[in-house]
A and B are shown apart, each in its own frame.
Chain A
Amino acid sequence: MAVKKLERYKMRGLINKDKLLLIAFLFTFISFWFLLPDYAINTISLSFCNGLVILGLLLLMRAGLISFGHGMYYCLGGYAVAMTYNFLQIKEVFVLIAFSVLAGFIVSFFLGFFVRRFRGIFFAMLNLALSMILFGIIVKSISLGSTDGFGIKELTYFNHAIEDEKRLNIFSYLLIVILTSLMMMIVMTFLKSPSGKILEAIRENEIRSSYLGISINKQIHKIYIFSSTLAALGGGLMVILIGHITPEDTAYWTRSGEFVFVAILSGSLNVFAPLIGSLFFEFIRSYALFYFPNTWQMIIGVVLILGILYLPEGIGSIFNKRKK
């Protein structure tokens, strides 16, 4: 019975190989909660929060763009959660997350009118400049917490308080894993749709694209909002997980650089790559930091070189052999 039903869904295109893979991905990570030690679960959670930023960068990369300032939206999403919590006394996780998404959406909507006219290195550096402006504003404002940032304490999930629990608990873990998988599903569907394929056309040839009748700037604006909102969601979840945010850890250029690093290492072949890439990076970092505290950056550098040499299309190419 069940098999027949599955066949029918397949026929209608409701289920395909990638979606099944994603469902398997989701359940694997849910089961890890019961199998892996706390520190591993913590690393996974954090790498998923960051992975959402990389997923956002993947969208830009599909259109041939990269941002050296996506930490800005990570920061905005995080501050939206922290400030709503501290100033509005809202403790409900789902409301806080909604605020982080909204912050990313609104800011990228307005900045999008400005950045969408630029390409290549100009687009990348302009975003870097914007994120450094945000960094400067926060650091100089006492009311925004300056360099100390903000902390949050206990949260509620659907009005259920989780008192005296650690920040990392089954609820925050499930929230992160499920939301991440949901975003992967949305991005996956988007990339397969005409809207998503148009991005590749823009990346390949802007002259022909505009002669086809594509409004290039509008498409880039759209993707910028989509991408930035994902980054903001990642920042929001990160604050819920860690319970603290500072400008230095989010909007400062080194953080954005790290995102670009992982994005390039991951490549843009499929939606799994950013998450696997981010996971890989966080584990290497924590291990390298532990065993080689003084040379871990060097190890990261070697990894990037190996990646460029042997996986020029990124980590995604491991399980996405070209179907030709």
Chain B
Amino acid sequence: MLLEVKNLNKKFGSVSAANNINFKMNENEIIGVIGANGAGKTTFCNIITGYLKPDSGVILYEGKNITKFNVQEIKNIGIHRSFQIPQVFENLGVLENIIITELVAKNKQNALFEDAYSKKNYQNAIKLLEKFSFDVDKFKDKTVKELPQGARKVLDILIAIIGKPKVILLDEPTSGISTDEKNVIMKNILRAIKEFNISVLFIEHDMEIVEKFSERVVAFYNGEIIADDKPSKVFNQNNVKKFIIGGL
């Protein structure tokens, strides 16, 4: 078992954002997560990645208890994430975003006697962006704040992939992206991720995308998991139809 969550609870005041959640993830799995706004999907990611501490419950990673790990420790054991609202270095260039991420991934955050923005590092960054079908020629000389929403989103995901994670959590990777682009972007991202043997959990509102790209679907409702199965089964479950698909 790669990742296991047992009896997880988290309350914000009277709102129960995680209500006795049990969840398991195997190696190389691609899991889609669905649920209406406010169902607790992002909170689930925040707790796993150590950003929020649960009120109770246990998180195991390869059998090891990681419930008390902080964000850096979680990252260092190989769980990375992307964000619903891209978290990138807005005033830095696209390539500089990638270079800094790679430097930290190579554990060079205290290196003093080398040039961070060397020609070699720029070339590597360009290669990496090309590999993920990022429109390098168009965007490489831009700062992040000049990018369109879709490109920013992809950059945020790429930053999460750098550093060979074992698990990656994608929080609404296609939100704010046009319907035509969604498929292309998901395909590119998942192809790249597959190559590295990374397990993926992605939160998604578009049921077609979920059906197409996931092998397993987990449905959240009011902080609870109400379904966890193959896409076809979950989509046909009554409460899922009523509370999630019908509610969209």
Is A205's CB within 8 Å of the partner chain B? Answer: yes
A212 touching B116, Cβ below 8 Å = no
* Chain A 149-161 per-residue mask, 1 if CB under 8 angstroms from chain B, else 0: 0000000000000
* Chain A 266-277 per-residue mask, 1 if CB under 8 angstroms from chain B, else 0: 000000000000
Of B75, B99, B110, B116, the contact of A211 (CB 8 Å cutoff): B75
Is A254's CB within 8 Å of the partner chain B? Answer: no
Is B229's CB within 8 Å of the partner chain A? Answer: no
B159 touching A208, Cβ below 8 Å = yes
A195 touching B90, Cβ below 8 Å = no
A residues apposed to B, CB below 8 Å: 13, 189-190, 192-198, 200-201, 204-205, 207-208, 210-215, 219, 324
Q: Which residues of B contact A201 (CB under 8 A)?
A: 89, 92, 100, 104
Q: Which residues of B contact A207 (CB under 8 A)?
A: 83, 87
Report, nearest first, the 6 A-B pairs whose CB atoms are least far apart. A204-B89, A208-B87, A197-B116, A194-B111, A213-B75, A194-B103
B residues apposed to A, CB below 8 Å: 49, 71-72, 75-76, 80-81, 83, 87-92, 96, 99-101, 103-105, 108-118, 141, 159-160, 163
Q: How many A-B residue pairs have CB under 8 A?
A: 89
B91 touching A204, Cβ below 8 Å = yes
Q: How far is the CA of A189 from the CA of B116 in the complex (A)?
A: 10
A193 with B91: in contact, given A211-B71, A212-B75, A213-B104 (CB under 8 Å)?
no
A211 touching B117, Cβ below 8 Å = no
Q: How far is the CA of A214 from the CA of B81 in the complex (A)?
A: 15
Q: Give, as a whole number of angstroms, the nearest-CB distance from B96 to chain A.
A: 8
Chain B residue nearest to A210 (CB atoms) is B71
A200 touching B92, Cβ below 8 Å = yes
Chain B residue nearest to A208 (CB atoms) is B87
A212 touching B117, Cβ below 8 Å = no
Q: Which residues of B contact A192 (CB under 8 A)?
A: 115-117
A194 touching B108, Cβ below 8 Å = yes
Q: Give, as a whole number of angstroms, the nearest-CB distance from B125 to chain A.
A: 13
